[in-house]
């Protein structure tokens, strides 16, 4: 069987599937997604910000995990090990609490932006 590559010029046009036009559905979805966007113009901006925050958080935590193992390797006694683990646990708890607060704030911002955007569109003059 020979593979034939397709591009927009050679690909067949999408056909209605059980009465649904896939192109129209995608256009309607994109329009709705932009209405509930964090940035009002880019529906993925809010998700990208959340992902960026998560990746930065994880990167920082992984560095601290590695630092803990390095610190444990240099401990001279059990007291030093206990201190290293206590410091690590305290910092991890603070970091996770801060991370949850940031994610919550971003979620609230998304909800507020959606409500304000929807209210503005509902007003006759387009302003909330």
The pLDDT assigned to 30 comes to 67
Query: Whole-angstrom Cα distance, residue 48 to residue 11?
Result: 31
Q: What pTM, to 2 d.p., does this model score?
A: 0.52
Residues 6-53 pLDDT 10s: 565 666 665 655 666 667 776 776 666 655 555 555 556 667 777 888
Q: Would you state the torsion angle of the CA atoms of residues 92, 93, 98, 103, taken in this order, to the nearest 10 degrees?
A: 90
Mean residue pLDDT of the chain comes to: 75
**CA distances, 64 to each of 33, 84, 88 (Å):** 37, 11, 8
Query: Whole-angstrom Cα distance, residue 29 to residue 67?
Result: 46
The two structure tokens encoding residue 41? 């113009």
Residues 46-79 pLDDT 10s: 677 778 888 898 999 999 999 999 999 999 999 9
């Amino acid at each position: 069987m020979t593979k034939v590559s397709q591009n927009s010029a050679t690909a067949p046009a999408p056909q209605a599937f059980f009465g649904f036009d896939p192109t129209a559905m995608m256009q309607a979805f994109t329009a709705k997604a932009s209405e509930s966007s964090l940035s009002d113009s880019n529906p993925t901006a809010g998700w990208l910000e959340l992902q960026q925050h998560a990746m930065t958080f994880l990167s920082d935590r992984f560095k601290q995990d590695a630092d803990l193992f390095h610190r444990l390797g240099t401990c001279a006694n059990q007291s030093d090990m206990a201190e290293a683990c206590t410091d690590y646990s305290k910092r991890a708890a603070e970091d996770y609490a801060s991370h949850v607060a940031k994610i919550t704030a971003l979620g609230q911002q998304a909800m507020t932006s959606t409500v304000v955007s929807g209210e503005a569109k509902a007003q006759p003059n387009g302003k909330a």
